[in-house]
Amino acid sequence: MPEADAFLIVDGHFAAVGTREEVSALAGDTATYIDLQGLTVLPGFNDAHLHPLLIPPGAISLASANNVDQLVSALSSHAQAMPKSTWVLGFEYDDQAIGRHLNRRDLDRVSTARPVLAWHASGHLAAVNSLALRTAGLDKDFVDPVGGFFYRDKAGQPTGLISERPAFEVLFVNDQPSPMVSDLSGALSGLELFAERAHSLGITSVTDALVPPELALAYWLWSPEDSGLRVNLILDGDSLTTAKRLIRANDITSRAGFNAFGNAWLRARSIKIFHGHSLSGRTTRLHTAYEGRPDYFGVDPQRSQAELDALVLDIHNAGIQAAIHANGDYEIDMALNAIEKAIGRDQRDHRHRIEHGSVVNSDILQRMADLNIVYAPHSYIYEKGPMIDAYGAHRWNWMFANASSFEYGIPNAANSDFPISGLSPMLRIQSLVTRKSRGGKIYGPQQRISVEQALYAYTMGSAFASFEDKSKGSITTGKFADFIVVSQDPRQTAPELLSKIEVQQTYVAGIKRFDRYDGNGSINE
Ligand SMILES: [Zn+2]
């Protein structure tokens, strides 16, 4: 039943799906009838890999700024609205869109009296104003912290552009405490804002792909059920013992009927392993050399094969799903080797995940299919297309292998990796269908997928990844009544215009959580 005219909701679940007559007959006289006037209904989107807590509460998105002036004026009006004692924060600035990277002089135009920071869309770079540099004592003679980098001008003065987290942390000193989410109250207000934004884009379920186990408690206190956003957590494997304890404690308490991290709203059943490096930073390890750099293969992963094997085996034997970050083909092969050994003859439905899996080959794809791996590739060519120029045109059809995943039968869990790329699922789907950058260049056309496949990956695929395909991901009798109303049928929209489709209403468990419908053509209740 690819399409239906009507459905019935009872107690937050779809109770019937079919023709108007069939559903009306079951609904009876006491039901509330809603006529959607021909608008399109889709299952709620499920983003399988993102990071809600990476955005400090009180930061604004700069993604829509098309030049430096626009960006400065957006930050300036934001500064007016924020308490005077805090950082003025923006994120998702795009150097391609505004024509260059930011410097301290740009941000001095926002304020010279308050520290200002704007994150680049990559998450790896940021720009700050002069006051932020001065407060932290960052002058000409300052020595860069290990793992971080301050860009400097010809005279050796910091330009205001900085790179990597150790450099950000230098800025967050006593007088200007860190705006990043590091405690429960910060996490709680951050999640509140995030949920509103998610609903406005049609998102009803998300997976936080890297949660320190202690912040799992923040999710619980925040209460996904009250907020109407279903959340799956992948716990940070750097805190392996605590993460395993949390999952085990849930298993024990759930036998007594208290299932804090394994219910319809909040789950924590997986552990993240960082193995390998960054695609955008050009540090991911490849089997063959980088384009134009015959001696450079990327940076060796942080573990030996034997160390990775032991870690994956430990997680697998604890009955837990492993989610392994691996980008380059060399890193992915190591991850698959470890999973293959850990599984051995165990027939368990493990659903171990490869996060990103950016550069593949036919051997890797076949192994992923044989080992029943869940694949969570990037969907960010729209924003980041030019970044993969460094990987060479011969690789583009082997990067973010979405079409191959459908051919090989590898479950595909669509995701934004927000804030690495924009949160809007319709923009992500446009990028998956067109593989066209903002600038209009197509990267790896063989990996384009159809609108139906992209919708499937953003609903059923991501539900499968968190073991929830029986309860969500489609409008099916018995599943959660999580659905959205959109302004236009995506299957009848030009691929380049998919991101213009507006979410009109978002329902989670049958409850309306977002409504921008203006009544034109009227949705009658
Ligand atoms: Zn991520």
Q: What is the pLDDT of residues 348-388, one digit of tens each?
A: 999 999 999 999 999 999 999 999 999 999 999 998 898 89
Q: How far is the CA of 51 from the centre of ligand 1 (A)?
A: 7
User: How many Å lie between the centroid of ligand 1 and the Cα of residue 442?
Assistant: 24
C-alpha atoms less than 13 angstroms from C-alpha of 358 in its C-beta half-sphere: 27
Distance CA 62, CA 81 (A): 16
Quickly tell me which residue has 């293959």 as its tokens: 340
Q: Which residue shows structure tokens 């912040």?
A: 215
pLDDT in tens, 240-255: 999 999 999 998 888 8
Q: How far is the CA of 169 from the centre of ligand 1 (A)?
A: 20
Separation of CA 63 and ligand 1 centre (Å): 18
Whose CA is closest to 19, among 3, 42, 43?
3
Question: How close is the Cα of 400 to the center of ligand 1, in Å?
Answer: 14
Span 276-284, average pLDDT: 86
**H runs (alpha helix) in 183-280:** 184-200, 213-222, 224-227, 240-255
DSSP class of residue 258?
-
Q: Among 136, 134, 163, 140, which residue's Cα sits nearest to residue 152?
A: 140
Q: Which residues are CB-contacts of 7 (< 8 A; sequence separation ≥ 6)? A: 14, 15, 16, 17, 18, 23, 475, 481
Dihedral, CA atoms, 225, 229, 230, 232, nearest 10 degrees? -120
Of residues 262, 24, 45, the one with CA closest to residue 15: 24
Indicate the pTM of the whole model. Answer: 0.87
- In a 3-state reduction of DSSP, which class is residue 365? helix
With beta carbons less than 8 A apart as the criterion, state whether 326 and 354 touch: yes
Q: How many residues in the chain?
A: 525
CATH of 185-465, one of 3.30.390.50, 3.90.870.10, 3.20.20.140, 3.90.950.10: 3.20.20.140
Strands 230-236 and 203-211: parallel
Class of domain 58-171: alpha beta
Name the E strands within 212-265.
Answer: 230-236
Say how many C-beta atoms besides its own lie within 10 A of residue 9's C-beta.
Answer: 20
- Give the domain ranges of the chain: 1-33, 58-171, 185-465
Lowest mean pLDDT among 98-112, 144-158, 440-454, 482-496: 144-158
Q: Which helix (H) or strand (E) holds 149?
A: strand 149-152
Please, which residues bridge with residue 33 across strands? Answer: none
Strands (E), 357-473: 374-376
Q: What is the pLDDT of residues 99-135, one digit of tens each?
A: 999 999 999 999 999 999 999 887 778 999 999 999 8
Instruction: Report CA(84)–ligand 1 centroid distance (Å).
Output: 32
Q: Tell how far the Cα of 211 is from the centroid of ligand 1, in angstroms.
A: 11
Please give the distance, rounded to the nearest whole angstrom, from the Cα atom of residue 375 to the centre of ligand 1.
13
- Give the count of alpha carbons within 13 A of 326, CB side only: 32
DSSP letters of 124-170? SEEEE-HHHHHHTT--TTPPPPTT-EEEE-TTS-EEEEEESHHHHHH
User: What band does 38 get if pLDDT is binned at 50, 70 and 90?
Assistant: confident
